[in-house]
Amino acid sequence: MKHKSADIVDIGKNRDGNMTEGSKSHYEVIVVGAGVAGIYQIKRLVDLGIDATVLDSAADLGGTWYWNRYPGCRFDSESYTYGYSFSRDLLDEWHWKERFSGQPENLRYLNHVADKFNLRRHMQFNCKLEAMHFDEARDLWRVKVGDGRELTCRFVVLAVGLLSVPTMPRLEGIDSFKGRSFHTYYWPHEPVDMAGKKVAVIGTGATGIQLIGEIADKVGELTVFQRRPNWSAPLNNSPISDEEMADIRARYDEIFAACARTPGGFLHEPDRRGFYDVSREERLRLWDRLYDEPGFGIWLANFREIFMNEAANAELSEYIAERICRRVRDLRVAEKLIPRDHGFGVQRLPLETDYFEAYNRDNVHLVDIGETPLLRVTEKGLRTTERDYEFDIIVYATGFDAITGAYDRIDIRGLGGETLAAKWKDAPSTFLGMLVHGFPNLLMPTGPQSASASTNFPRGIENGVNWCMGLLQYIWDRGYTRAEATREAEQRWTAHVVKMYEIMLMRKAKSWFTGYNSNVAGHEEGTVRYFLYNGGTPKFVGIINDVAANGYEGIVFGSNARPEPEALRTRISA
């Protein structure tokens, strides 16, 4: 078959001396992004012998775990539910050191996977995808890379991440600051000496909350600029001993089966009793237990009504507020840390370690910029409507142009030259979150409106990549050169995604779950974007499997490609 990887040419060497692809100009598949999704995607392609490569703008693999190096960065998934499930060998040899593993370990893990399966040779770094235009006559994508190269391929798989475009406040003077400043996503690779320093953190989302808890006792003075507080609950992390790891290894099948059963792809199963079918005492007993247990239990093992019923959600919110008050000595500060504009868990719940206790320290100060907004960055620090502050370091934990941000920044043109950014200007529309009408041969295993953003990410990734691979195999087996979702299928799916939001309280939340970002034009308050599939993993997997079983209903296939001119063929090395 023409698309097999025997054609690989122009072999070079990457930084660790492994063989890598260099100046080849045509591939059957180009995968964009060498993060958790891209690594698994290329593994599956390589296993089939497909001529494929990965492009990533970073200097190395790891995606989110390559970039986010801020202190305290870790995931909230139980580590042993976060790792890939595809290789027994890998499961048996990897020892997760902590129940919720930190960034350095996570990056080591991804490097280990890439090295174990010899995947680096299929990856090209410092290669930013700038444009991809569909050549309708040849059923090919023409791809422009930041280094000036133009490549072609039959299929593009975008594994560009859901939170990979960091956003800065729209404040004047950011460049005038004479100290050090960075967005958490671009935290320097070398250690940042913060001892004795005056540090500002802007933002109290999941990132800010992790960072603040971690650095409070390591800096001179820490001033947190909080616009709106976020609900947060304890992570309750702990090490994993050899014995525990052996037990986990023996239970991996059971663990992954449990993740596949739950809406969120985690081990935490919702409490299926009715909120009002049990007494208030019973509810309090459950919450007392869940609050003190590790992980997302307090969010995901709770009553289902907390996501849909205002009164049920308000009762839980009051309970969590009371737990916060028990942990923060100054009740005026505690009051500022308790959200009053949204209920518990309707935005993505950050889990924390010593976050609330940080505010009991004399060197930690909370500035409510809801009351006294930031005016500008100065040479020496920050100016609010109330006063000037001086800092050595300013950290922007101000979030991301989530879900569609990475897509919007690539010049993607489908049939008739339509751009994806224009099509998605007001909101994305997709078929199953993985295909887009008008953009043939473009696959998004973790795209907007797929289940992966609302689930334990790697579990969603494996589902998405496996489904995309099934589709590709179907196409290759039949000699098709084009696959495109129909307009009707896309409209049906998008309407279903919107409907799933209607029953959720989160539809009203100012959060990336609804596409809110005050720093991105058009994403300010009031424009709800239906970004996530809220039906849960089992339902999503059922739907996508049915589509496959019905001959990929909703997708039209073709084989219109004219024979490729010699220039487009994969060149065979002498």
- List the one residue from 206, 301, 306, 395 that touches ligand NAP (CB under 6 A): 206
Looking at the Cβ atoms of 308 and 375, the one nearer to ligand NAP is: 375
In a 3-state reduction of DSSP, which class is residue 55? Answer: strand
- The distance of closest approach from Cβ of residue 202 to ligand NAP in the complex, given in angstroms and rounded to an integer, is 5
Q: Is 106 in the site for ligand NAP (CB under 6 A)?
A: no
Site size with ligand NAP, rule: CB under 6 A: 25
Neighbouring CB atoms inside 10 A of 230's CB total 21
The rounded distance, in Å, linking the Cα atoms of 115 and 518 is 40
Read off the amino acid at residue 244: E
Q: With beta carbons less than 8 A apart as the criterion, state whether 149 and 23 touch.
A: yes
Q: Is 202 in the site for ligand NAP (CB under 6 A)?
A: yes
Q: With beta carbons less than 8 A apart as the criterion, state whether 31 and 159 touch.
A: yes
Q: Is the dihedral of CA 444, 301, 68, 207 positive or negative?
A: positive
Q: Is 452 in the site for ligand NAP (CB under 6 A)?
A: no
Q: Is 207 in the site for ligand NAP (CB under 6 A)?
A: yes
Instruction: Return the residue nearest ligand NAP (CB atom).
Output: 205
- List the one residue from 44, 120, 283, 348 that touches ligand NAP (CB under 6 A): 348
Give, in order, the Cα–Cα distances in Å from 354 to each of 38, 198, 216.
Answer: 34, 20, 9
- The distance of closest approach from Cβ of residue 529 to ligand NAP in the complex, given in angstroms and rounded to an integer, is 14
Q: Is 232 in the site for ligand NAP (CB under 6 A)?
A: no
Q: Is 214 in the site for ligand NAP (CB under 6 A)?
A: no
- The distance of closest approach from Cβ of residue 176 to ligand NAP in the complex, given in angstroms and rounded to an integer, is 17
- List the one residue from 208, 428, 438, 464 that touches ligand NAP (CB under 6 A): 208
Which residues in 497-536 contact ligand NAP (CB under 6 A)? Answer: 512, 518-519
Give alpha helix (H) positions in 240-369.
242-250, 252-261, 280-292, 297-300, 310-327, 331-337, 355-358
The rounded distance, in Å, linking the Cα atoms of 464 and 446 is 6
DSSP string, 23-51: S--EEEEEEE--SHHHHHHHHHHHHTTB-
Q: Is 87 in the site for ligand NAP (CB under 6 A)?
A: no
- The DSSP code for 164 is -
Which residues in 385-444 contact ligand NAP (CB under 6 A)? Answer: 397-400
Please count the CA atoms within 13 angstroms of the CA of 388 that sit on its side-chain side. Answer: 7
Which residues in 264-303 contact ligand NAP (CB under 6 A)? Answer: none
Region for residue 417 given its phi and psi (left: phi exceeds 0; alpha: psi -120 to 50; beta: otherwise): left
Q: Is 448 in the site for ligand NAP (CB under 6 A)?
A: no
Q: Is 205 in the site for ligand NAP (CB under 6 A)?
A: yes
- The distance of closest approach from Cβ of residue 377 to ligand NAP in the complex, given in angstroms and rounded to an integer, is 11
The rounded distance, in Å, linking the Cα atoms of 380 and 68 is 26
- The distance of closest approach from Cβ of residue 110 to ligand NAP in the complex, given in angstroms and rounded to an integer, is 15
Q: Is 78 in the site for ligand NAP (CB under 6 A)?
A: no
Q: Is 57 in the site for ligand NAP (CB under 6 A)?
A: no
- The distance of closest approach from Cβ of residue 192 to ligand NAP in the complex, given in angstroms and rounded to an integer, is 18
Binding pattern for the stretch 358-387 against ligand NAP, x by CB under 6 A and - elsewhere:
-----------x----x-------------
Which residues in 155-174 contact ligand NAP (CB under 6 A)? Answer: 163, 169
The rounded distance, in Å, linking the Cα atoms of 125 and 417 is 28
Q: With beta carbons less than 8 A apart as the criterion, state whether 229 and 85 touch.
A: no
Which residues are near ligand NAP by CB under 6 A?
A: 74-76, 163, 169, 202-208, 210, 227-228, 348, 369, 374, 397-400, 512, 518-519
